[in-house]
Amino acid sequence: MKLNFSFLKAAFFAAFLSFQMFSSPAFSQSKAIANKSETYKDIIEKAYNLSLQKDRQQALNILIAALQKENRPQPVADLRKAINDVAHVFISDKAQQMFEAGISLRKTDLTQALGKLNEASRLEPDNTAILSELSRTMIAKGDCSGAQDLMSKQAKLLPYDEELKLTAAQAYVCQSAWVEYGKIYDSNEVRKSPFQKFWLILEVDRYFKTKNYTKAQEIAANLKKIDGKYPEVSYWSWKLVQVAKKPGLEDAQKYVITCKNISANQYRQYMIDPMLCRHVVEVEADLKGSNGIAE
C-alpha cells in the first residue's frame, strides 16, 4: 500500500468540507428542529472543527464516545474514518516537515531519522502518523521493546486503527513474542486488509522462526503472487531455500539488486515494513561466499 503522507492534511480538509456540505439543511430530507438531538454527523463535524482548532484529543474523545454508542453499519464506518482522519492529520507545518525529513532519512541513516521523528513527536505528541513511523524506525534500529511500549499505549487509545495494530504486531514479532503477536493477528481480517502483504510477511517470519518451514513456504509463495516486487518476499524466499539446502541464488540476487536500486517512490510504497531492505549486508555476504555476487 503506497503511503502518501504529503496529502494527509488536504484529505482531512476535504473530508471536513464534505461533512459540512452533506450535513447542511440543503441536503437534509426534513428540516432541522431547534431542539433536535445531536446526530453522529454533527459529532463528526464538531470533531473536525476541534481539530482545526488544534484540540485533537477532545476531537478524538467525542468521536470515540459516539462510536461506542453506535451499532449501525454506516455510522460506525463514518465514525471510524473520522477517528483515523483526526488521529493522523498534521496540525503543525513544522511537525510535518520533521516527519517528512525522518522518512527521507530512514533508508540511509536511522539515527538521524529517529532524531527528526522524535522532534516531530515533541511538536505533536498525539499524532498517530508520527508515532507509528517513530515506532517502525525504533524497530529498524533494534529497540523493539521501546516500539512495543509506544504502540501498545497508542493502540489502547485507538483500538480501531489497523496501522497501529500492525506496528504493534511488528514490534512483537521483532521480540519473538508469538502469543501477543497472535492475539493481534487473529483480531484482524487479513484477507480484506489494505495491509495484507505486511501482515503475511509477519506470518512468514513467525513460521520460519518457529521452524514450521512448510507453512512459511506456502505463505511466501502466496506473497509472490500478491506482490512479487515486495523486496522482503525475496529475502524470506532466499532464507527458505537456505533451510531446504536447495541450490539457487535468484531470490538473493533479486533482493540485493532491488534494495540497492530502489527509488524513493518504491521505498515509500513498502516502508510500512520496518525491516524493508535491512538485510542487504547479510544476503550480500552469503552471495560473495557463494560466488554469486549481485551486479
63 band by pLDDT with thresholds 50, 70 and 90: very high
Q: How would you class 52 by CB atoms within 10 Å of its CB: exposed for 0-12, middle for 13-18, buried for 19 or more?
A: middle
Predicted pLDDT at 171: 97
d(CA 277, CA 128): 24
1 band by pLDDT with thresholds 50, 70 and 90: very low
Q: What is the DSSP letter of 55?
A: -
**pLDDT tens column, 36-62:** 588 999 999 999 999 989 999 999 999
155 band by pLDDT with thresholds 50, 70 and 90: confident
Task: Indicate the number of domains in the chain.
Answer: 3
Q: Where are the alpha helices (DSSP H) in 89-143?
A: 93-106, 110-123, 128-141
Predicted pLDDT at 24: 46
Same domain, 153 and 218: no
The three-class DSSP label of residue 275 is coil
The residue from 142, 165, 188 where one domain ends is 188
Same domain, 167 and 180: yes
The residue from 39, 63, 88 where one domain ends is 88
Does residue 130 carry a pLDDT above 60?
A: yes
Residue length of the chain: 295
The residue from 88, 121, 137 where one domain ends is 88
Does residue 31 carry a pLDDT above 90?
A: no
Specify the CATH number for the domain of residue 143. 1.25.40.10
Predicted pLDDT at 19: 52
Same domain, 287 and 195: yes
Q: What is the DSSP letter of 33?
A: P
Same domain, 31 and 11: yes
| Cell numbers standing for residue 269 | 510504497
CA–chain centroid gap for 8, Å, is 14
**pLDDT tens column, 229-276:** 999 999 999 999 999 988 779 999 999 999 999 999 999 999 999 999
Tell me how far CA of residue 190 lies from CA of 53, 101, 183, 186, in angstroms.
Answer: 36, 31, 13, 9
CB 116 within 8 A of CB 147: no
**pLDDT tens column, 189-221:** 999 999 999 999 999 999 999 999 999 999 999
Angle at 78 between CA 183 and CA 15, to 5 degrees: 120
Same domain, 241 and 293: yes
Region of poorest pLDDT, from 129-133, 186-190, 222-226, 290-294: 290-294
Same domain, 58 and 103: no
Same domain, 197 and 287: yes
pTM summary value: 0.84
Does residue 13 carry a pLDDT above 60?
A: no
Tell me how far CA of residue 192 lies from CA of 78, 162, 195, 196, 223, in angstroms.
Answer: 18, 12, 9, 7, 15
Domain that holds residue 28: 5-88
AA letter at 127:
N
Same domain, 168 and 204: no
CA–chain centroid gap for 120, Å, is 17
